[in-house]
Copies of this chain bind each other. A is one copy, B any other.
Amino acid sequence: MFVKLQEEKVFKDPVHHSIYVQDVTIWNLINTPEFQRLRRIRQLGTTYLTFHGAEHSRLSHSLGVYEITRKIISQFERSGYTDWPQEERLLSLCASLLHDVGHGPFSHSLEQIFHTDHEEWTCEVILGDTEINRVLREVSDDFPERVASVIRKTYDKPIVVSLVSSQLDADRMDYLLRDAYFTGVNYGTFDLDRILRVLRPYEDKIVVKESGMHAVEDYLVSRYQMYWQVYFHPVTRSSEIVLRQIFRRAKELHKEGFRFAFLLAPIKHLLEGSLQLGDYLRLDESLVQTTFSEWANERDTLLSSLCRRFLNRQLYKYALLEEQDEAWLADARQEWLLLGLNPDYHLEVDNPFDSPYDIYKPEQKPAGREKPPILLLNEREQLTEISVKSDIIRSIAGIQHGKYCVYYPKDELLPYIDRLSKNTREKLSL
């Protein structure tokens, strides 16, 4: 059941100018409580503590991914490319709109502590007892399952999966542009129109016309720059460390039978690892912040001081290390203990990494996690992996490591500064 809206709906969007909705199903999905909940989850987690403009929500990003997918498909249809399966339009749009619907608050940080997986939650939201499921079932009984299989990357038409999830997908294109816009960092911009113009469906893949190589270079360099300027930023890392420590401490306390003065059910079940879909959908960043605000007065001083740090942005300071220095770290932990500081919390080492572009080496990847490489299509219909042709892409492909930093509460250390070893003072530039 595919029904067009009588009149196109338009959302004003700062990144894409306008977002156009033409299908009843898309309109109804946007109006479900589960989708609206994404307004209460920020796209960039704690990054707003570094870049104050970065308050944008996952809802705005999800609309953006939908819009880019819509544009790509509409260009494929207009050009009459026969390798594009036209009957997959609505499925692709739904999957792109919903691909992040299972994100929880500060997902990337919390997933490390609680071992949840937003992709699984996304499938639960799509398949479970939700408004989203009801809207999807109006299309056909197996439609929710088909949407979920696109999310899981198991759908039997890989070209649909690659629209939503590849190294040049609508997801990445939107978040780079959006994160750059809201942080105010102008390294993240690239020429979206140009990239859209050089995409081609080819057999079961989406590939790039060879003459578009420089446009893709520009996009990957933007991505590389965003890692360095935004995603690896030490202040953001510091806020994530504090956030994770709050939940680590709360989990320990709860395990020990600590009686929290304030503990709403979704948080309780999160600490216990017994979250069900209903609770999960009540978990949002408002609830986390309200909980921290209440916990700022809990009796456990470690927990309460961490919460105050997070709310008041009194984060850990950082010092750059040349490399992981186990010997010094072991010594420093001893020093911390002697000063009455807690080395499990007050001394944390971090070295973020990610890859702006992966040269696909099938043997190195666990099944289901690989992202296929970007392929160039030349005029003789030959495909070449892009880093073979581009020096600049080869130079940034593979893992990029952020700075190796040690994080610690400088304010708590300062009173004891002359009791610190010379080595530690030098490492921390104190």
A residues neighboring B (CB under 8 Å): 10-15, 17-18, 31-33, 36-37, 39-40, 48-49, 51-53, 55-57, 59-60, 63, 181-187, 189, 191, 193, 197, 214, 217-218, 221, 224-225, 228-229, 264, 282, 284-287, 289-290, 293-294, 308, 311-314, 391-392, 394-396
Contact = CB atoms under 8 A, between A and B. Distances in A.
A14 B181 contact: yes
A181 B15 CA distance: 10
Nearest to A310: B36
A320 B202 CA distance: 24
Contacts of A312: 31-33, 36
Given A31-B314, A229-B214, A391-B396, A53 B14 contact: yes
B218 A214 contact: no
A395 to B, nearest CB: 3
A63 B293 CA distance: 24
B12 A183 contact: yes
A120 to B, nearest CB: 23
A189 B185 CA distance: 13
Contact of A290 (B218, B287, B308): B287
Of A39, A285, A287, the most chain B CB neighbours within 10 A belong to A39
Contact of A52 (B11, B218, B313): B11
Of A10, A12, A217, the most chain B CB neighbours within 10 A belong to A12
A338 B53 CA distance: 49
- Interchain residue pairs A-B with the least CB separation, the first 8: A14-B184, A395-B395, A286-B289, A290-B290, A33-B312, A55-B55, A286-B286, A391-B395
Contact of A17 (B37, B49, B55, B193): B193
Nearest to A230: B12
Copies per complex of this chain: 4
A386 B70 CA distance: 35
A282 B58 CA distance: 26
Contacts of A181: 14
Given A214-B225, A313-B31, A395-B394, A60 B53 contact: yes
A52 B48 contact: no
A13 B184 contact: yes
Given A193-B18, A311-B33, A392-B392, A51 B228 contact: no
A193 B10 CA distance: 12
Nearest to A39: B48
Nearest to A193: B17
23 contacts: A11-B52, A12-B51, A12-B183, A14-B184, A17-B193, A31-B312, A36-B311, A36-B312, A39-B49, A39-B52, A40-B289, A52-B57, A53-B60, A53-B182, A55-B55, A186-B191, A187-B214, A214-B225, A286-B287, A286-B290, A290-B290, A391-B395, A392-B395
Nearest to A308: B33
A101 to B, nearest CB: 14
A184 B12 contact: yes
Nearest to A429: B379
Contact of A224 (B184, B225, B392): B392
A106 to B, nearest CB: 13
Given A12-B183, A286-B286, A286-B289, 6 more contacts: A18-B193, A33-B308, A55-B60, A187-B191, A284-B289, A391-B396
A270 to B, nearest CB: 15
Of A287, A294, A392, the most chain B CB neighbours within 10 A belong to A392
Contacts of A224: 392
